[in-house]
């Protein structure tokens, strides 16, 4: 990789992290308003499906990457309790100091570590589950990140990805969804966070991201076996669950 291209990737990643630092204090409120709370259903589905596929009643560790304010860790804990699963350690990893600051105030049962998905500060084969919700498209070195997930997971460990993936929006309903994502979301998110550019970035980043099929292929190339793929809410959100083989 050329030095100029490497520098551009580093600068892009730093800009994304800085953006999340800036909106950290209003991030949870904006998520709830913009999704009408539906994102909670998506997260529950991801956790339940992973526990179901893994089929264990005792886990050493769950690692949530790009953890943000730690929202998903709460779902991991609560659903584990509902299913009678004992999870020894919960770990949240994120490059944004601002996000981690909010997470530490909100989630008192987890360990939080500043770190990048593509340089995961987790030991080899030490975690049963790795999750990343609405963060994989913000990882510039995505292939390296998936390789890191594979390295850190125990044999037969599970990776759970929730993401806004690129869709072919040709129908009337899909055009309505597209309008909401590109026009309404940035305005409402901008009002709540006082940062219009951050919420304009969201639909732009989705357009620049992969299709579900391409992300599946990248997971398989990293050594994972696909176990479950499901789109929700007219294709707005997609859940992918894969297992280390």
Which residue ranges are tagged as binding site for S-adenosyl-L-methionine? 69, 94, 133
Report which secondary-structure segment, H or E, holds 231.
Answer: strand 224-232
User: Could you give the dihedral angle defined by the CA atoms of residues 55, 56, 57 and 59, in that order, rounded to the nearest 10 degrees?
Assistant: -140
- What distance in Å separates the CA atoms of residue 111 and residue 133, rounded to the nearest whole number? 18
Q: Is the dihedral of CA 215, 4, 96, 188 positive or negative?
A: negative
Sign of CA dihedral 14, 15, 19, 20: negative
Which tokens hold the place of 7?
A: 């520098």
**For the sheet containing 224-232, what is the strand order?**
111-114, 86-94, 58-65, 127-133, 153-163, 237-244, 224-232
Distance CA 195, CA 26 (A): 10
Cβ contact 110:73 at 8 Å: yes
Beta-carbon count within 10 A of 208 CB: 10
Binding residues: 69, 94, 133
């Amino acid at each position: 990789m050329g030095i100029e291209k490497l520098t551009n990737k580093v600068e892009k990643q730093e800009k994304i992290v800085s953006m999340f630092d800036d909106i950290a204090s209003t991030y949870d409120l904006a998520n709830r308003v913009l999704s009408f709370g539906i994102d909670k259903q998506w997260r529950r589905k991801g956790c339940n499906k992973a526990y179901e596929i893994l089929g264990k009643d005792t886990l050493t560790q769950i690692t949530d990457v790009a953890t943000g304010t730690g929202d998903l860790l709460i779902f991991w804990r609560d659903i584990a309790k509902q299913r009678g699963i004992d999870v020894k350690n919960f770990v949240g990893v994120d490059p944004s100091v601002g996000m981690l600051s909010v997470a530490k105030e909100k989630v008192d049962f987890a360990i939080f570590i500043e770190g990048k998905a593509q340089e995961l500060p987790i030991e080899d084969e030490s975690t049963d589950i790795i999750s990343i919700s609405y963060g994989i498209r913000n990882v510039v070195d995505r292939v390296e990140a998936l390789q890191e997930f594979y390295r850190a997971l125990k044999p037969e460990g599970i990776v759970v990805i929730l993401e806004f993936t690129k869709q072919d929006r040709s129908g009337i309903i899909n055009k309505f969804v597209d309008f909401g994502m590109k026009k309404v979301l940035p305005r409402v998110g901008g009002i709540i966070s006082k940062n219009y550019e951050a919420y304009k970035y969201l639909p732009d980043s989705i357009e620049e991201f992969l299709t579900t099929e391409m992300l599946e292929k990248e997971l398989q190339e990293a050594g994972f076996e696909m176990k479950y793929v499901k789109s929700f809410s007219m294709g707005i959100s997609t859940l992918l669950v894969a297992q280390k083989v």
